[in-house]
Amino acid sequence: MDKSKLIKIKCPRCGNAQTTYGRATTMVKCKGCNILLLKPKGGKAKIRAFIKHVFH
């Protein structure tokens, strides 16, 4: 079983950082400015933010 990894992403607009799963099943919006950061794609999510760190 391939497990999803936690990733820390940074919003390109406001710089707010938050942690989410790399294979998220729901849309993730920035808590600071409310833009879309991550969109599910049936597997790995489409990331529209800067990846700061990947937790193993």
Question: What CATH number is associated with residue 14?
Answer: 2.20.25.100
Domains held by the chain: number: 1
Q: How is residue 35 written in tokens?
A: 């833009």
Q: How many Cα atoms occupy the beta-carbon half-sphere of 9 within 13 Å?
A: 25
Tell me the pTM: 0.81
Q: Is residue 39 part of a domain?
A: yes
- Distance of alpha carbon 44 from its chain centroid, rounded? 10
Domain housing 30: 6-54
Q: Is residue 36 part of a domain?
A: yes
- What average pLDDT does range 12-39 have in this prediction? 94
DSSP character string of 1-56: -PPPPEEEEE-TTT--EEEEETT-SS-EE-TTT--EEEE--SSS-EE-SEEEEE--
Q: Check pLDDT > 60 for residue 55.
A: yes
Q: Is residue 1 part of a domain?
A: no
| Spatial distance between the Cα atoms of 37 and 24, rounded to a whole number of angstroms | 11
Q: Check pLDDT > 90 for residue 42.
A: no
